[in-house]
Amino acid sequence: MSSSADAQFVEHASDKLPWSLWMRQIAAILRLEVKKNFLGRRAILIYLLALAPVLLMAAMAATAGGEISRHSGLAIIIFANIFEGFILRTVVFFGCAWIFMNLFRGEVVDKSLHYYFLAPVRREVLVTGKYLSGLLTSIFLFAGSTVGALFFFYLALGQSANSNYTFNGLGLGHSVSYISITVLACVGYGAVFLVVGLFFRNPMIPAIIIYGWEFINFLLPPVLKKISIIHYLRSLSPVPIPEGPYALIAEPTPAWLSVPGLLILTSLVIVIASLQIRRMEIKYGGE
């Protein structure tokens, strides 16, 4: 089935919609899509991913709480490694891949995208509403997952070390940084995977390629390191993690460049997605 003619008519009819109506349409799409993201049959995987770091830290607190309390300095470094290696590179990465690639690809598989294309809604408005729905879902789940992991980490430190680290040391600032980095990861990876879901019929292959690029980032020369999201996220880490003996050293990008850089990248990717969806035709037969 192809709805290109109907979609072009709808697109032309909505060319002069006022901004206030676009905002209401985005809000309506946002409410509908957030409900689908949380309650749809594809939501089970992201719940399991978001729960994994919490269960890991809870298990560590239950089985090694005494060791963590006695070696709090080492424990802080261990948590930083868990955050980067497990939460960022695995949970947030694959969680965002699943959420954002399915925003459009899932609709095509379910043969329901044409309902949006037949509605009097500009396609750029549709992209914005869907992206924001994925962003809210991912931030709620994965920032919440980071908060849960931090809770059990602090619990394992014990009351004395916990109070000292949190209020007299750098603990509170570290916690805010970890949560902020998680939010920025959702912003950046979400935009990338939204485009992947629009451009590729089988988005898992490019997702694996992107994962490989992010994974070998430590081996890349400094110029190529900057063509990745993980480089900017690592630059914001409150506890620097050595990249290993084989890494090519590059200066971390300062926060005043990292954060705007990620936001600019996200904006450009959303523009690309908006341009792509204007030319998109629905052909369910090949799915």
Q: Is the pLDDT of residue 80 over 50?
A: yes
- Residue 244 confidence class, pLDDT cut points 50, 70, 90: low
- Minimal CA–CA distance to 4: which of 282, 285, 286? 282
Q: Is the pLDDT of residue 44 over 50?
A: yes
pLDDT: is 23 or 284 the higher one? 23
- Residue 88 confidence class, pLDDT cut points 50, 70, 90: very high
Give the domain ranges of the chain.
41-111+136-286
CB 281 within 8 A of CB 2: yes
- Residue 169 confidence class, pLDDT cut points 50, 70, 90: low
CB 73 within 8 A of CB 165: no
Q: Is the pLDDT of residue 163 over 70?
A: no
Residue 116's Cβ-side half-sphere holds a number of Cα atoms within 13 Å equal to 28
pLDDT of residue 173: 85
Q: Is the pLDDT of residue 1 over 50?
A: no
Tokens at 225, concatenated = 């390191």
pLDDT of residue 19: 76
pLDDT digits (tens, 9 = 90+) for 113-152: 878 888 888 888 899 999 999 999 999 999 999 999 998 8
Q: Is the pLDDT of residue 262 over 60?
A: yes
Three-class secondary structure assignment of the chain:
CCCHHHHHHHHHHCCCCCHHHHHHHHHHHHHHHHHHHHHCCCHHHHHHHHHHHHHHHHHHHHHHHHHHHHCHHHHHHHHHHHHHHHHHHHHHHHHHHHHHHHHHHHHHHCCCHHHHHHCCCCHHHHHHHHHHHHHHHHHHHHHHHHHHHHHHHHHHHCHHHHHHHHHHCCHHHHHHHHHHHHHHHHHHHHHHHHHHHHHCCCCHHHHHHHHHHHHCHHHCCHHHHCCCHHHHHHHCCCCCCCCCCCCCCCCCCCHHHHHHHHHHHHHHHHHHHHHHHHCCCCCHHHC
Burial of 272 (C-beta count, 10 Å sphere; 0-12/13-18/19+): middle
pLDDT of residue 7: 47
Q: Is the pLDDT of residue 217 over 90?
A: no
DSSP state of 43: H
For the chain, percent of residues with pLDDT exceeding 70: 84
pLDDT of residue 76: 84
Residue 200's Cβ-side half-sphere holds a number of Cα atoms within 13 Å equal to 18
- Minimal CA–CA distance to 169: which of 157, 152, 185? 157
Query: Which of 28-32, 46-50, 228-232, 255-259 is the least confident region?
Result: 255-259
- Residue 266 confidence class, pLDDT cut points 50, 70, 90: confident
pTM for the predicted model, two decimal places: 0.86
pLDDT: is 155 or 9 the higher one? 155
pLDDT of residue 14: 47
